[in-house]
Chains A and B, each alone.
Chain A
Amino acid sequence: MTRFDPGRLITPQTIALAAVLIFNWLLFPGFFSVEWKDGRLFGSLIDVLNRGAPVAILAIGMTAVIATKGVDLSVGAVMAIAGAVAASAVEAGLSVWVAVPLALGAGLACGLWNGVLVAVLDIQPIIATLVIMVAGRGIAQLITQGFIVTFNDPALIFIGTGSAFGLPMPVLIAAALLILTTLAVRRTALGLLIEAVGVNRSAARFSGISAMSLLLLVYVFSGFCAAVAGVIVAADIHGADANNAGLWLELDAILAVVIGGTSLLGGRFSIHMSVLGAIIIQAMNTGILVSGFRPEFNLIVKAGIIIAILVLQSPVASWLFRRGRE
């Protein structure tokens, strides 16, 4: 394994995160204060991690999908479905040990559906996942019968608002997923195979990689991640809102992956950088809120960041950069 090199920590993403955090600190001097209260940590930084956890979890699944040259637009709707299943199940008297697996199962099923459309029927990923993006919220409303299903099950609520080891549960779940996924893709050949499919699917198939089962796997995994995020969001607000749970979060997740430097054209990917991207997005959201700007500015700032990244990654910029060095 490579030796740890502190220089590798300096990337555009970490510089961006530091800049956003310092900016927040200038606007709100108490930003970095973290205190220990009632057996857990409190503070704006912890809040950023806690609020950013759902998008970070989506981004983990989305990175795998984008690495295969795909995209999963359905994750927001899958979140709504998973939240609706979990809430309806505990309201029907089932234990949380049944409700959560049911919700995760719903996410796996949606992921499998997407995977079959992309891998077996060979449909463009944007369009294949559009079907659940459009129909998914309708299905979630069908499950909740159009109501916002609220619940008081303490075990389910714990997933969204509880804490362990001093950290909020969503942060711990996101961290666990990040570590497990990173181990799975970097300590085995899985990551390499995913990259091979993303760079050139036919070439990967000719070299003996089962591209079809790998594609199925990444979409199922993305559906699973979306379901985890959906359960967390539902548990956090003690209810399942089929219309608004996870609304537009697919775009945030894609943005997190792009900020993390994974190319939308497939191939090279980095899961921890995507998670960092999600944290940068949330730090910006929090910064705009604490600075007293109207939340509407959020969208404009996000658009500005996408444009800046696109310009920096474009061939024009790299050509200028090369010429400057010569």
Chain B
Amino acid sequence: MNRSLRPLAATAVIFLLAYGAAALQFPGLFSTRVLGNFLTDNAFLGIAAVGMTFVILSGGIDLSVGAVIGLSGVLVAVMISWLGMPPLIAFALTLTIAAAFGAAMGAAIHWLRVPSFIVTLAGMFLARGAASVISPDSIPIHHAAYDWVSQAYWKMPGGGRLSLIGALMVMVFILGAVLAHRTRFGANVYALGGNAASAELMGVPVSRTTVLIYTLSSTLAGLAGIVFSLYTQAGYSLSAVGVELDAIGAVVIGGTLLTGGYGFVAGTFIGVMLMGLVQTYIIFDGTLSSWWTKIVIGVLLFMFILLQRLVFRAQAARD
């Protein structure tokens, strides 16, 4: 097996072991019903995590993801419920605004030469503040097409429901994997994360790539916001608080190196599924309190960081 695939394989094996152990205890977990719910419930997180994967691959971090999800949900709700726009136009406008927001952050990171951490922190305050100023209250969305889309599903064998938003997430992951591993842009992202200085010397268009990375992340966060508004049938300025942490967690658990330059989009998918598994297991168990979710995810995060550290230290010693 290709040596560079080992951390991805490790994550996949750990997920399968955890899933197997959980399914032994609760046979009900091993069904397409649970699988379908996994995809639907984590759709917005998964879509945002794809964008975060690109940011982290390039050696950056995007703290504004949760706030952009909240802002886009509010924008969609305002356009449909208050202004009476057709949903598709509202979606297009919202995605354009999110993309412009990301492009501005990327431009600030590149030309002001400040860490992505602090620029996206300002972006987080700005997006969350803008959403709260537009409407501090939750705005319900009542629209026939909206109801249809949020209810649409394909019945899988075994009685599970693959909802439209669940399928959308899987599609975003596939497109993200192609973009990262099969295009010039993807190669540039890896080069930037590996070593920005040598990437520039090799002729990687650093400014364009940086702007595009954050544009992509914010656009996907905007899409996640639309999905979240479909999921909850409302737009609320305080929704998805802290989702950036879940997304970062999923990316790390998925085996992407936080210093950039190494990782897989598919790993992030396993990371999202593993986090969904922890939540589902705690719901199935019934006796565990909800705070165990946070603790277990923290422990998982720690284990995977440690694993990465040990794997790469061993590799560095061999090279």
**Neighbouring A residues of B237 by C-beta, 8 Å:** 296
Binding site of B, secondary structure by majority: helix, strand, loop or mixed? helix
CA distance A307 to B124 in the complex (A): 12
Interface residues of B in 286-301 (CB under 8 A from A): 289-295, 297-299, 301
Q: In the complex, which range does the number of interface residues on chain B fall in? A: 35 or more
- What distance in Å separates the Cβ of B70 from its nearest Cβ neighbour in chain A? 11
Contact B291 A299 (CB under 8 A): no
Q: Which of A294, A300, A301, A311 has the most chain B CB atoms inside 10 A of its CB?
A: A300
**Neighbouring B residues of A265 by C-beta, 8 Å:** 115
CA distance A124 to B132 in the complex (A): 33
Binding site of A, secondary structure by majority: helix, strand, loop or mixed? helix
Which segment of A136-144, A176-184, A215-223 sits at the interface? Answer: A136-144
B291 partner, pick from A128, A133, A146, beta carbons under 8 A? A146
Contact A310 B118 (CB under 8 A): yes
Contact B117 A310 (CB under 8 A): no
Q: In the complex, which range does the number of interface residues on chain A fall in? A: 35 or more
Contact B117 A131 (CB under 8 A): no
List the A residue with the shortest CB-CB distance to B303. Answer: A131
Within 8 Å of chain B (Cβ to Cβ): is A315? yes
Within 8 Å of chain B (Cβ to Cβ): is A132? yes
Given A299-B128, A300-B129, is A134 in contact with B301 using a C-beta cutoff of 8 Å? yes
CA distance A182 to B216 in the complex (A): 44
**Neighbouring B residues of A310 by C-beta, 8 Å:** 108, 112, 114, 118-119, 122
Within 8 Å of chain A (Cβ to Cβ): is B302? yes
Within 8 Å of chain B (Cβ to Cβ): is A302? yes
Contact B125 A134 (CB under 8 A): no
Q: Which of A132, A142, A303, A304 has the most chain B CB atoms inside 10 A of its CB?
A: A303
List the B residue with the shortest CB-CB distance to A71. Answer: B117
Contact A122 B112 (CB under 8 A): no
Contact B245 A122 (CB under 8 A): no
B: which residues have CB within 8 A of A?
A: 61, 108, 111-115, 117-119, 121-126, 128-130, 132-133, 136, 237, 245, 248-249, 252, 258-259, 289-295, 297-299, 301-302, 305-306, 309
A: which residues have CB within 8 A of B?
A: 71, 117, 121-124, 126-128, 130-139, 141-142, 145-146, 242, 251, 254-255, 258, 264-265, 294, 296-304, 306-307, 310-311, 313-316
Q: A264-B117, A296-B129 known; 15 other A-B pairs, CB under 8 Å? A: A121-B309, A126-B258, A130-B301, A131-B298, A131-B305, A134-B298, A135-B295, A138-B293, A146-B290, A146-B291, A254-B118, A300-B133, A302-B122, A307-B122, A314-B113
Q: Can you list 27 residue pairs at the A/B interface with Cβ under 8 Å?
A: A121-B309, A123-B305, A123-B309, A124-B259, A128-B305, A131-B305, A132-B298, A134-B249, A134-B297, A134-B301, A135-B295, A135-B301, A137-B294, A138-B298, A146-B291, A251-B121, A264-B115, A299-B126, A299-B128, A300-B125, A302-B122, A303-B126, A304-B126, A306-B118, A306-B121, A310-B112, A310-B119
A-B residue pairs, 7 tightest by C-beta: A135-B298, A299-B129, A138-B294, A296-B132, A141-B291, A300-B129, A303-B126
